Amino acid sequence: MHLPQIRLQQTYAQIGLRTTQPTQEIQQVPADLSIKQVPAVMTIDRQPSRLEINQDQAWNELNLKSTPVSSEDMAEFSKQEGFEAIAEIAQEGDQFAAIEKKIDAIVAIATEKGSPPPQEFNIVFIPSYGSVKINYVPTELHIDWKQGGVEINSTQHKPIHQYTPGKTEVYLRQKQQLQIDFIGIHVNNQT
């Protein structure tokens, strides 16, 4: 014997999710950086040393005079000799003119010129000590520094940020269903 049955067939509802992923873009523009190196400056002012040796006096004492010095000395000597000769002639003239003194001027002048006084002499070192003049000026050195440095200029840039938020859509992918079937309702009476 068959018993009647109820057959239930059920389909559950299903939902679907449609998701759009969020997007995010970040761009960082590098900073603009300029570096300028200013070099140090050094100036050196140098006055060279100087050695001066003046030997003119030594050469003159050795009678090795230069032409201009020799000419000047000769002119001075001649001038002095001329003055002395004029003085001597004037003195002799005064002796001749003084006849009131009743002195024989010619004899006195001849005696004076005939027996001159002895010459003076001495030992002299030629050239004399200190006749060579030495002058030394040492080197002068002046150093001046100007420090350099670094000039840094920096320009920063903000990051470029773009963000698109994500979305989630919920939809019904499958509807629920309930199907009911009756089996064995018709009874077979034919036996």
Residue 185 has pLDDT above 70, yes or no: no
Res 81: pLDDT = 92
Residue whose structure tokens are 């003239």: 93
List, for residues 3-51, the tens digit of each pLDDT value: 778 888 888 888 988 999 999 999 998 888 899 998 899 999 999 999 9
How far is the C-alpha of 127 from the C-alpha of 54, rounded, in Å? Answer: 13
pTM greater than 0.85 (yes/no) = no
Q: Where are the domains of the chain?
A: 55-132
pLDDT at 113: 80
Tokens standing for residue 167: 């979305």
The proportion of the chain whose per-residue pLDDT surpasses 90, expressed as a percent, equals: 31
Those residues whose C-beta lies under 8 Å from the C-beta of residue 87, and which sit 6 or more positions away, are none
φ, ψ (nearest 5 deg) of residue 6: -110, 120
Q: Tens digit of pLDDT for each residue in 70-109?
A: 888 899 999 999 999 999 889 888 887 887 777 787 888 8
